[in-house]
Amino acid sequence: MQSTGTILLTIGAILLLGFATDELGRRTRLPRVTLLLVFGILIGPSAADLLPQVSNQWLPLVTDMALLMVGFLLGERLSFSRLSENGHYVFIISVSEVLTTCILVSLGMALCGLPIGIAVLLGSIAAASAPAATIDVISELGAKGKFVDTLEGVVAVDDVWGLVLFSFALTIVQLAMGLTSQNGVIAAGLWEVGGSLLLGMSIGVPMAFLTGRIRPGTPTMVEALALVLICGGLAEILEVSFLLSALVMGAVVANLAKHHDQPFHEIENIERPFLILFFVLGGASLHIEGLWQIGVVGLIYMLCRVAGKLSGCYAGATLINAPENIRNWTGLALTPQAGVAMGMALIASERFPDFSSLILTVIVGTTVIFELIGPLATKYALIKAWPMDEQG
């Protein structure tokens, strides 16, 4: 009973923090994502170590539920009505940014003396961003307009391209090292992406037509949440990407549910508590000692990743003659890096145990930094670019 009381007390205290961060954010102009992460670090093992040991068991579940909701909400940004206006921006900018980031980081890691296969893996991991942090900063500012629509679209597909690129890189490296057969790795990569698409569509289609029709009037929160969680559960069981599955499901609902858009509003209404837990527990799980271990390799990784985001977005936006604010500020707004990159790093470390320490040290250490400064960069980019939309 004591452990149950401790758990309830801890969850309640963390959720109350959500109210405090809003006020503190207004007074300091710091993004609440950064504040929640810092608080998590302070109460985690790296500092005061105030969280109960059982909290380590919450993080995978809380992370999955938060990212499921983020993925579903990002799917709304991929509706045909939005993409008809910004779709070419989103596609060209995202592809340019992901490829440029991967190439620059891979070259930087190779110049540091890493084997070319491991350098390419780190490059593909660097392409991933942090949709939860980016969307939270946008929501905090209440920003709207063409720049925001483009940014939301890019961050929605960013991790999709990143996962595809990572699967491809994993296949090439495993084949080069002779660790597995060609057919086995290719089949796994195809299932990771194709299975996610099929799962998202198979749940999204009935969800689009059933929500709001089972019971007349506004769709209930139960309907929307139940189907999102079912999608996540099946994704885990089938061993496909739950983030990609939820994103596809959201896109299908956004395009087919013409009679309403309430499922997205219902998920938005309950998303916040999960995000608070997600960021605080995520901060608590970050190992600050990793900052002192990343060394020159980590520094080069960070510089090349930022350069890739900035130059890739600028090049893609220039190619399609996008507005000035999209050219100049989209890359900076994509600086955060979080859960998806960590997941890729864990997979890579399991497949290549000889390089496990190197991969995890670089990704964990740089993620700590990108998680803390990334939301600041996103907020600054939004503040600079958003008014230009209003003037235009």
The least confident of 187-196, 280-289, 381-390 is 280-289
Predicted pLDDT of residue 318: 92
pLDDT tens digits along 71-81: 787 777 677 66
The least confident of 28-42, 120-134, 363-377 is 28-42
Would you say residue 114 has pLDDT above 80? Answer: yes
For residues 353-380, give the mean pLDDT. Answer: 82
The least confident of 43-57, 98-112, 223-237, 293-307 is 43-57
Q: Residue 304 is inside which H or E element, if any?
A: helix 295-319
Predicted pLDDT of residue 356: 75
- The CATH number of the domain covering residues in 2-287+301-391: 1.20.1530.20
CA dist 31 and 24 (Å) reads 9
Which residue has 């307009």 as its token pair? 145
Predicted pLDDT of residue 107: 95
**pLDDT more than 90, % of the chain:** 14
For residues 86-115, give the mean pLDDT. Answer: 89
Question: pLDDT class for 291, splitting at 50, 70, 90?
Answer: low
**pLDDT more than 70, % of the chain:** 78
CA dist 83 → 208, 245, 328, 329, 382 (Å): 19, 19, 21, 20, 20
Lookup: tokens for 21: 């961060």
For residues 107-133, give the mean pLDDT. Answer: 87
5 vs 2, higher pLDDT = 5
Predicted pLDDT of residue 339: 64
184 vs 127, higher pLDDT = 127
Predicted pLDDT of residue 245: 86
pLDDT tens digits along 128-171: 888 777 888 888 787 788 888 888 888 877 877 877 787 777 77
Mean pLDDT (the chain) is: 78
Predicted pLDDT of residue 375: 86
Would you say residue 390 has pLDDT above 60? Answer: no
How far is Cα of residue 248 from the mean position of the Cα atoms in its chain?
15
Question: pLDDT class for 392, splitting at 50, 70, 90?
Answer: very low
CA dist 376 and 374 (Å) reads 5
The least confident of 42-51, 147-156, 190-199 is 42-51
For residues 281-299, give the mean pLDDT. Answer: 72
Tell me 338's DSSP state: -
Question: pLDDT class for 83, splitting at 50, 70, 90?
Answer: low
Predicted pLDDT of residue 220: 64
Nearest to 253 by CA among 71, 53, 11: 71
Predicted pLDDT of residue 369: 82
How far is Cα of residue 219 from the mean position of the Cα atoms in its chain?
27
For residues 81-107, give the mean pLDDT. Answer: 84
What's this model's pTM, rounded to 2 decimal places? 0.71
Q: How many Cβ atoms sit within 10 Å of the Cβ of residue 202?
A: 16
Would you say residue 99 has pLDDT above 90? Answer: yes
pLDDT tens digits along 307-366: 999 999 999 999 988 888 889 999 999 998 876 777 677 667 767 777 877 887 788 778
Predicted pLDDT of residue 234: 92
Which residue has 């891979």 as its token pair? 106
Question: pLDDT class for 1, splitting at 50, 70, 90?
Answer: very low
Nearest to 365 by CA among 296, 282, 293: 293
pLDDT tens digits along 218-253: 556 777 788 888 998 998 888 787 777 888 888 888
